[in-house]
């Protein structure tokens, strides 16, 4: 066993150690035929030439001609037709949605495994799917796989700054070396694009939502174009986050009012400049009138005015606009959770057809657990993009082991009841609930310059899981975890099952030792790491922890019922009634929606205060179990990665205990 540093991510190709599977794979893949040519086909060929000899522990012959024996045949529909392969109407229909198939096909002298897709980048993603089957020791004897992306735009969003720093980055500096571009292309860019393509991502937003105007300068657009050229064969389109006041800072205009013709013209000229350099530019992601960022409201205009002005410029070239709904001006409503709805619901139907309003998964700010954002289900005439945070800003950052796919599935599967039962968040994001033609999901990236990409070896699972769910949100968190563990740590059951147990227990444990029963925003100010439930010194009321938990001698929790802020009214029936009644409100959201007496009885038979003590300690206990489990796996894990995770778990346990002790001590003073 040799040391590994995690750089290979889940694309570590190791010899198949199941003798029966290995024998079958070698027999079935005696030859590989790739009839197509071009940059993406070259990437496919290189990947297979790299992977198959390692997995099969033998050399494999490659050809561009029709194979004469058992073979792997890879190509687009048109390329496969040149070999005489038939594509059914059902397959063609799915492929028209940028999908792919992997199927077994009888041939003249044996059997082929055929990989086909609607375009070369779909074939690239399918190739990674097939390699995943081999990595996880799946049966490939009678394959009949048909897959298509449920969401059109699947974007990894980087909060990277031009100076190389990353806002909410916990894995080193930015991957993008702006000072060196475009002259020097870091080979790591290819490895990044390869990892994104392997899970079906097709977009990258390169810079921070707290944008700098310089990112739109001609100098930096040339640098961006160099990255776009590199990413294109991998199926990745580039996006940028512009500063709304760029016409003033870059163009020297006296205003950035979107209703001014000179401002609109400046943006049209700038967008035309971008598309001249990057013909397949994806579009803009905009943060405006939020947390001090400039926006249309600075000039008496509104979100739709600003969004539509930019969207019109982009639409001329086929681009889209993502307009973030992360706004929480408490002069709009004293309950921060209500602000976005109150600002955006009146604007429904007023946005340009290429605008997607981008909402976070919950109404506050990427907390360990939140109910789904009530905007999902409220904007019927406006497509909604879902923004998830892969980088775990509020969940222990990259010091804690927290698998986020279970949290994301809770949100995606949540029923909004917008059009009756079955109107899930996933179907709204997909566009099927209200018949929208464009759809988007964006994950705030957790990657950086550290050798293992994500700071914590287990944080790689969240990058992987985001991509898999973005492609197919019907996948289970369990299935995704099983894939990732086998690809990253090996197929030995003695390793797979314990690690899967760690993964699936990690998010509930984090919720328990940080914010159980619907508590939220108890983190220290600024860096958001560690507990500070008594924080009450910020200039804004809603930047204080006490604003969110409202603990006093009578009880704890934010009253969002009809008797309180009435945030429950922003949800459809029957959710509003369920959330409104303390007797029917799910206990996981209890203190989110209600101010509850300390002696209130819960389903467990314990009082609220007893349950809080129990859950805080339960969270700590599970981290202890994870640490012990990981230690028991030492004989099965390479020393370097085992030591790294061991150290992180020790730190996580220390911090979990701090959360437990600090919070129970603070809240205990109100109980008496």
SS3 596: strand
User: Which sign, positive or negative, has the C-alpha torsion 184, 186, 192, 194?
Assistant: positive
How far is CA 340 from each of CA 209, 347, 385, 561, 658, rounded to the nearest angstrom? 17, 11, 14, 18, 33
Beta bridge partners of 100: 117, 147
Examine the residue annotation and report whether 387 is marked as an active-site residue of this protein: no
Beta bridge partners of 110: 107
653 phi-psi bin (left φ>0, alpha ψ -120 to 50, beta other): alpha
200 neighbors 467 (Cβ within 8 angstroms): yes
Whole-angstrom Cα distance, residue 196 to residue 453?
13
Whole-angstrom Cα distance, residue 410 to residue 388?
12
| Upper half-sphere CA count for residue 89 (Cβ side, 13 Å) | 0
Looking at residue 178, the DSSP 8-state letter turns out to be T
DSSP H or E stretch at residue 238: strand 237-240
Beta bridge partners of 360: 387
Selected catalytic residue, list 139, 219, 291, 552: 291
Alpha helices (H) in 319-419, listed in sequence order:
339-344, 405-412
235 neighbors 205 (Cβ within 8 angstroms): no
φ, ψ at 72 (rounded to 5°): -100, 125
SS3 31: strand
Whole-angstrom Cα distance, residue 411 to residue 447?
23
Only one residue has tokens 């012990």, namely 628
Whole-angstrom Cα distance, residue 670 to residue 324?
38
Which one, of 532, 506, 548, lies nearest residue 659 by Cα? 532
Spell out the residues 6+ positions from residue 192 whose beta carbon is closer than 8 angstroms to its own: 175, 447
561 neighbors 555 (Cβ within 8 angstroms): no
SS3 387: strand
Which one, of 119, 142, 141, 114, lies nearest residue 129 by Cα? 114
N residues, the chain: 672
Q: In what side-by-side order are the strands of the sheet with 71-76? A: 61-63, 31-33, 71-76, 110-117, 100-107, 144-147
Whole-angstrom Cα distance, residue 432 to residue 418?
12
Which one, of 494, 392, 400, 458, lies nearest residue 641 by Cα? 458
Which one, of 340, 620, 663, lies nearest residue 520 by Cα? 663
Examine the residue annotation and report whether 365 is marked as an active-site residue of this protein: yes
Selected catalytic residue, list 393, 406, 415, 483: 393
Examine the residue annotation and report whether 393 is marked as an active-site residue of this protein: yes
Which one, of 412, 593, 453, lies nearest residue 520 by Cα? 593
Residues annotated as part of the active site: 291, 365, 393
């Amino acid at each position: 066993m040799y040391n590994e540093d995690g750089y290979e991510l889940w694309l570590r190709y190791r010899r198949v150690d199941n003798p029966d599977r290995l024998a079958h794979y070698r027999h079935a893949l005696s030859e590989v035929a790739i009839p197509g040519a071009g940059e993406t086909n070259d990437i496919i060929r290189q990947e297979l030439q790299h992977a198959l000899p390692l997995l099969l522990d033998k050399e494999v012959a490659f050809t561009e001609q029709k194979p004469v024996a058992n073979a792997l045949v890879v190509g687009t529909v048109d390329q496969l037709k040149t070999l005489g392969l038939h594509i059914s109407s059902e397959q063609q229909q799915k492929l028209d949605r940028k999908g792919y198939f992997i199927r077994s096909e009888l041939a003249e002298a044996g059997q082929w495994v055929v990989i086909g897709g609607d375009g070369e980048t779909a074939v690239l993603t399918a190739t990674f799917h097939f390699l995943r089957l081999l990595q996880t020791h799946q049966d490939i004897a009678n394959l009949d796989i048909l897959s298509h992306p449920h969401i059109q735009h699947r974007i990894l969003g980087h909060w990277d700054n031009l100076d190389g720093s990353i806002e909410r980055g916990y894995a080193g500096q930015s991957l993008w070396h702006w000072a060196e571009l475009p002259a020097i292309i870091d080979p790591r860019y290819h490895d990044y694009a390869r990892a994104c393509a392997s899970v079906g991502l097709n977009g990258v937003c390169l810079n921070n939502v707290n944008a700098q105007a310089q990112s739109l300068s001609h100098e930096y657009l040339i640098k961006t174009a160099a990255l776009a050229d590199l990413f294109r064969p991998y199926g990745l389109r580039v996006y940028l986050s512009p500063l709304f006041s760029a016409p003033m800072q870059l163009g020297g205009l006296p205003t950035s009012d979107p209703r001014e013709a000179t401002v609109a013209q400046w943006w049209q000229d700038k967008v035309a400049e971008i598309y001249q350099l990057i013909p397949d530019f994806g579009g803009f992601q905009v943060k405006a009138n939020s947390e001090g960022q400039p926006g249309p409201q600075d000039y008496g205009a509104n979100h739709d005015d600003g969004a539509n002005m930019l969207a019109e410029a982009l639409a001329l070239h086929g681009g889209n606009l993502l307009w973030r709904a992360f706004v929480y001006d408490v002069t709009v409503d004293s309950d921060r959770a209500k602000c976005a709805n109150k600002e955006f619901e009146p604007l429904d139907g007023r946005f340009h057809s290429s605008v997607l309003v981008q909402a976070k998964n919950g109404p506050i700010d990427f907390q360990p657990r939140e109910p789904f954002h009530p905007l999902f289900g409220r904007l019927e005439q406006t497509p909604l993009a879902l923004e998830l945070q892969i980088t775990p800003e509020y969940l222990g950052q990259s010091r804690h082991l927290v698998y986020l796919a279970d949290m994301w599935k809770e949100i995606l599967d949540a029923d909004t009841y917008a059009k009756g039962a079955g109107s899930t968040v996933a179907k709204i994001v997909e566009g099927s609930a209200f018949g929208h033609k464009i759809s988007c999901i964006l994950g705030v990236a957790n990657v950086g310059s550290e050798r293992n990409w994500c700071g914590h070896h287990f944080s790689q699972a969240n990058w992987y899981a985001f991509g898999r769910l973005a492609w197919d949100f019907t996948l289970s968190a369990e299935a995704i975890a099983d894939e990732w563990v086998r690809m990253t740590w090996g197929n030995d059951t003695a390793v797979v099952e314990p690690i899967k147990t760690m993964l699936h227990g990690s998010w509930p444990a984090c919720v328990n030792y940080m914010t159980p029963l619907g508590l939220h925003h108890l983190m220290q100010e600024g860096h958001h790491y560690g507990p500070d439930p008594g924080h009450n010194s910020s200039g804004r009321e809603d930047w204080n922890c006490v604003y969110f938990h409202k603990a006093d001698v009578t009880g704890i929790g934010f009253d969002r019922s009809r008797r309180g802020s009435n945030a429950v009214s922003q949800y459809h029936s029957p959710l509003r009634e369920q959330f409104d009644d303390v007797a029917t409100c799910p206990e996981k959201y209890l203190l989110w929606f209600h101010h509850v007496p300390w002696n209130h009885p819960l389903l467990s038979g314990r009082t609220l205060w007893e349950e809080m003590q129990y859950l805080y300690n339960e969270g700590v206990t599970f981290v202890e179990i994870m640490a012990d489990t990981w230690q028991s796996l030492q004989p099965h894990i390479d020393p370097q990665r085992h030591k790294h995770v061991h150290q992180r778990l020790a730190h996580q346990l220390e911090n979990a205990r701090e959360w437990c002790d600090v919070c129970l001590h603070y809240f205990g003073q109100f109980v008496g």
